[in-house]
Amino acid sequence: MKARPTVQLWDPLLRLCHLSLATVFFADYFFNEEGDDWHQWLGYYGLACVLLRLVWGFVGPMSLHRFLADAVLALVCVHVLAAIVESLRLGENLPLSMITGRRRQR
């Protein structure tokens, strides 16, 4: 029988955060008393896991790729707009000057 291909649903950081949070809950609920030092530190660690997961949701692998692609597109648009504005301001065809490497003397 041929094995069907698989798809990765969760990246390693997401799985680590989930496992850490489950471990923190289990340890705090069953082994520590409320107010103990361990209870407080595990609570801080759990909060850090949740915050890391929230940040990773916005800048994770797919989100980061999309953000960078959009940022590059925005920079290209700003560059083209600046070339047009400066060409109009100087009365010079700057894209042509970029191609030829020459410009009229002032």
pLDDT digits (tens, 9 = 90+) for 61-74: 766 667 777 888 89
Give tens-digit pLDDT for 17-30.
Answer: 999 999 998 888 88
- The more confident residue out of 62 and 3 is 3
For 28-52, the pLDDT digits (tens) are 888 887 778 888 888 899 999 999 9
Domain boundaries, the chain: 11-59, 60-106
Residue 23 corresponds to which tokens in the numbers above? Answer: 């471990």
What is the DSSP code string of the chain?
-PPPP----S-HHHHHHHHHHHHHHHHHHHH--TT-HHHHHHHHHHHHHHHHHHHHHHHSHHHHHHHHHHHHHHHHHHHHHHHHHHHHHHTS-HHHHHHHS-----
